[in-house]
Amino acid sequence: MTYRFVACDVGAETDPDGYFIEAGIADLDGFVMLFQCGGDEPDEQEVSLGFDTHCLVTADQGTAYGCVRAAELIGNVLRVSLDPAALLDLGLDDPEIEAVLDVPAEAIARFREILAKVLAYGRADARPLRVSV
């Protein structure tokens, strides 16, 4: 089953100090998906902890690293496929998510740019198998 919602808030940010890169979406009911990665290449500690990839954070701070298996943004519709093993950590029931981004085209363009950077971060074996953003 696919979880579908309308995202009325879309944001994308690159930390000016270089600590993180983040692209996020949210709806009016509090459903949140924040796609994040480090601003620099992963260091030895991040590698040893498995934090050398993108992470996804949901409402209530559910967090999973390297869990996005596919992401597709066509027009204003974002489709994300997650590793089912990460659902418990994320507090989600469905590995397939579809969001209609109900925001201006400029916000979608910025989100698209930053999301592509986040999902390309870190070790190759933890990157999504398919990204079309």
Residue pLDDT, tens place only, 64-86:
999 999 999 999 999 999 999 99
Q: Cite the DSSP H helix spans in 50-98.
A: 87-90
- pLDDT digit string, tens, across residues 33-69: 999 999 887 778 877 777 789 999 999 999 999 999 9
In which domain, by residue range, is 70 found? Answer: 2-132
Tally of domains within the chain:
1
Q: What angle do CA 107, 78, 3 make, to 5 degrees?
A: 130
Average pLDDT of the segment spanning 14-24: 93
Q: Cite the DSSP H helix spans in the chain.
A: 44-49, 87-90, 105-119
* Other C-beta atoms lying within 10 Å of the C-beta of residue 17: 7
